[in-house]
Amino acid sequence: MDRIGWLRAAVLGANDGIVSTASLVVGVAAANAARSDVLLAGVAGLVAGALSMAAGEYVSVSSQSDTERADLARERHELATAPAAEEDELTHIYVERGLDSTLARQVAQQLTAHDALKAHARDELGHVEGMSARPLQAAVASAAAFASGAALPIITVIMSPSSMVTPIVAVVSLLCLALLGALAARAGGASIVVGAGRVAFWGALAMAVTAVVGRLVGTAV
């Protein structure tokens, strides 16, 4: 499940990179900008988007990490000041999960004797070992996922004829979005067709809107 979660996060990050950068590139290209200006806009979008994703993820996961540490500190204090009440609490949790009261008490006592804090962190607080919040890792992974997706429209601009930048970027980006949408849907056990179509639709809408805005701004200027 942890691997699936990371895969879906990576796919979503790449999707964001493709949609935002492709939309930016298409909008600037629709304003009849030179290829160098389109590339500059794309690179700026990649850098700004990756840093924004990293910052947002770092702040979010740091808050989660702070909450986890606070929960553990409170639990450590309660174990030190009211061990009997904490054992009763653990016993009640196991009874609710289907054990009879005698066996639940025995399990609670044995786990408490082995590692009381670990038992309460896992069964009371839901903190799974090996899945603790890691802000820096999350920030780097989010930025890398976004940048990998954002690089696609930029590479497409470089390889496309100047007169065909807009349609080629749009088509390549939509194909990649559909592929990533299908991959995310498969990882989550959902319909591949629905997942691919949903992501492609919103990507197409974003690019269409920015193209119209670019055309109007370019004409006005």
Which segment, 4-8, 50-54, 184-188, is predicted with the most confidence on average? 50-54
**Residue 20: partners with Cβ closer than 8 Å, 6 or more residues away:** 45, 49, 150, 206
d(C-alpha 208, C-alpha 4), whole Å: 32
Query: Which position has the higher pLDDT, 123 or 54?
Result: 54
d(C-alpha 39, C-alpha 61), whole Å: 33
What is the pLDDT averaged over residues 30-48? 91
pLDDT at position 89 is 82
What is the pLDDT averaged over residues 22-33? 90
Confidence of residue 49 (pLDDT cuts 50, 70, 90): very high
**Would you say the C-alpha torsion 142, 144, 147, 151 has a positive or negative sign?**
negative
Q: Encode pLDDT of 149-208 as tens digits.
A: 999 999 999 998 888 888 999 999 999 999 988 887 787 777 888 888 888 899 999 999
d(C-alpha 194, C-alpha 45), whole Å: 28
* Cβ neighbours, 10 Å, residue 165: 24
What is the pLDDT averaged over residues 79-105? 83
Confidence of residue 64 (pLDDT cuts 50, 70, 90): confident
Please state the domain extents for the chain. 2-59+138-220, 69-123
d(C-alpha 16, C-alpha 149), whole Å: 7
Q: pTM of the prediction?
A: 0.74
